[in-house]
Chain A
Amino acid sequence: DAGVIQSPRHEVTEMGQEVTLRCKPISGHDYLFWYRQTMMRGLELLIYFNNNVPIDDSGMPEDRFSAKMPNASFSTLKIQPSEPRDSAVYFCASSLAGNTIYFGEGSWLTVV
């Protein structure tokens, strides 16, 4: 079975550019999460969806960040404009009915 699929795996971009990270959750899962991993704060929840509806976006750091889930099999996390402090690993994860969370392999973002 395919797990959570994220793209791109690595992204290097210049400050001010738009970054779009993509995620395909596990088929049948009804929860989708976007996390960011940093050394200082570990795994931070940015936003999560239930049945494609955003439930809690309180973790989104600022208005430069936005996330969408147009259907059950696709979600995007967009940063516009990007800044060097956004450099981190971004994980997408999904779960069924709020049980065990399954993570993707992450998108490594570097903003120079």
Chain B
Amino acid sequence: DQQVKQNSPSLSVQEGRISILNCDYTNSMFDYFLWYKKYPAEGPTFLISISSIKDKNEDGRFTVFLNKSAKHLSLHIVPSQPGDSAVYFCAAPAGGNQFYFGTGTSLTVIP
């Protein structure tokens, strides 16, 4: 049973526009969330995180929003750039220093 779900396997966005990647979770006890970015033939790399005590965390062009009542978080990228084309994974702590990962959303930014 997936604890962290990314229901959109892919997303295409025009360069300069906003990209919104979504993630739903089932466990209200998760106390923070992570987003990872993965380029082809590379391992995932940490992108941004958010604590459950916040509803927003911003880092440059990347902002993560958390809606605890809906058990939903989203990653906004604005403006989107072709170099942002990658697979994005959301993750939540599973206890014992391990993480649940979603299935990923493949973002394509069209020049």
Which B residue's beta carbon lies closest to that of A101? B99
Establish whether residues B103 and A42, one from each chain, have CB atoms under 8 Å apart when the complex forms. Answer: yes
- A 53-77 contacts with B by CB, 8 A: 55-56
Chain B: CB-nearest residue to A4? B43
Instruction: Known contacts A41-B103, A42-B104, A43-B101; decide if A104 and B96 are in contact (CB<8 Å).
Output: no
**B44 contact from A43, A56, A95, Cβ within 8 A:** A43
Rounded to whole angstroms, the CA-CA distance of A101 and B89 in the bound complex is 13
* Category for how many chain B residues contact A: 20 to 34
On whether the beta carbons of B41 and A105 are closer than 8 Å, the reply is yes
Q: For the complex, count residues of A whose C-beta is within 8 A of B.
A: 27
Q: Are A42 and B43 CB-contacts (below 8 A) given A31-B97, A95-B97?
A: no
Evaluate whether A45 and B98 lie within 8 angstroms (CB atoms) in the complex, with A104-B43, A105-B43 already known. yes
Chain B positions within 8 Å of A35 at CB level: 101
Nearest opposing residue in chain B for A31, CB measure: B97
Taking the closest CB of chain A, its distance from the CB of B3, in whole angstroms, is 11
Residues of A within 8 A of B6 (CB): 42
Q: B89 contacts A55, CB within 8 Å?
A: no
The one of B46, B98, B100, B102 in contact with A56, judged by C-beta atoms closer than 8 angstroms, is B98
- In the bound complex, CA of A106 to CA of B38 (Å): 11
> B75 to nearest A CB, angstroms?
16
Residues of A within 8 A of B (CB): 4, 31, 33, 35, 39-45, 48, 50, 55-56, 91, 93, 95, 97-98, 100-106
